Structure 1
Amino acid sequence: MHTVDLVVVCVAVALVLAMIAILARQRQMLRTMGALPLAVQRGNRWLYGVGRYEGAELRWYRAIGVGTRPSRVLRRGQVEVLGRRGPRETERGSLPPSAIVVECRADGEMFALAIGESAYTGFVSWLESSAPA
């Protein structure tokens, strides 16, 4: 085997192992209590990930990545729901037809989340609940 062939095989194996590690991380995060699949809109793009409720925070972790820190943290009491809707025609290729798009504002920033029906009910309940004393 030539050196170039060996390098190509090593790079391919490393890429496969990285993808396995990312998928294993996602699977483990979704098994955690209080976790849900959650997409966040940035500009015209939807970024997929996992949301996890931790007390008065909803922590969002990007789907593609190996980091252990959340990419975004929403604090209960700072999030205002402006409305909900189904995916727009331009979003149909990016979001499942059953997704609920929740338009929100926090700290003066407008953003949207895409979640399932039961996750929406849980999200609204979480927002309306009071923080533990």
Structure 2
Amino acid sequence: MRVLEVFGICVVALLALLFAIFFRRRLLRLGGGTIRLQVRTNTMVPGRGWAPGLGQFVGDELRFHKMFSLAIRPKRVLDRRLLAIAERRLPTGPERLTMPGHWVILRCATGDVQLEIAMAETTVTGFLSWLEAGPPRDPGSVPGRPIFGPRPLES
């Protein structure tokens, strides 16, 4: 009889944990402005280290919440004013097994930090619109581009 009690307690604890994870996810989605995405948290093994989660747009920030976590605070916060897209590519190698085929990977730079995020191709359009719709940046923070011809050589 003792074994059944322990087993029952473990099952109830597991169900409570699953309920808490899905309830947290539902609460995050209630506020609106959420997208499904993956952030690469570990680059030690090529193609691995992706963490699925929800991205929540709050003002000038994209807050990344891990999918299977109980944390209320976001795991990572990306500021629109500092975020720049360096490269756009399709999943390759083992990445094709961890994410749907219609997803796109964006290599981003936020100051000195490089990170990769992946999202659906249709979501990328909205993400880039959000990124471009930010307030104008400080004129001295972004180097100007020449209107015509190649960039002049610096001496």
TM-score by length of 2: 0.78
Measured after TM superposition, the shift of residue 131 of structure 1 is: 3.1
Measured after TM superposition, the shift of residue 130 of structure 1 is: 2.5
TM-score by length of 1: 0.90
Question: Counterparts of 1:54-65 in structure 2 under 5 Å?
Answer: 54-65=58-69
In structure 1, C-alpha distance between the alignment counterparts of 2:105 and 2:26, rounded to whole Å = 23
Measured after TM superposition, the shift of residue 31 of structure 1 is: 4.2
Task: Number of aligned residue pairs: give it.
Answer: 131
Structure 1 segments (4+ residues) deviating >2 Å: 27-32
Aligned counterpart for 1:126 among listed residues 130, 146, 150: 130
In structure 1, C-alpha distance between the alignment counterparts of 2:28 and 2:93, rounded to whole Å = 31
Of the structure 1 ranges 26-35 and 82-91, higher mean CA displacement relative to structure 2 is found in: 26-35
- For residue 30 of structure 1, what is the amino acid of its counterpart? R
Structure 1 position 50 matched with structure 2 position 50: no
Identity of aligned residues (%): 32
Structure 1 position 80 matched with structure 2 position 84: yes
Question: Counterparts of 1:26-37 in structure 2 under 5 Å?
Answer: 26-37=25-36
Residue segments in structure 2 that go unaligned for 5+ positions in a row: 137-155
- For residue 116 of structure 2, what is the amino acid of its counterpart? A
Measured after TM superposition, the shift of residue 28 of structure 1 is: 3.5
* C-alpha contact 1:30 1:37 (8 A) present in aligned 2: no
How much is the aligned-residue C-alpha RMSD, in angstroms? 1.6
1:69 maps to 73
**Which protein has the bigger helix share?**
1
1:22 maps to 21
Please list the CA deviations of residues 72-121 of structure 1 after superposition, one character each: whole Å capped at 9, or x if unmatched.
Answer: 00001111101111111221110110001111111211111111122111
**Which protein has the bigger strand share?**
1
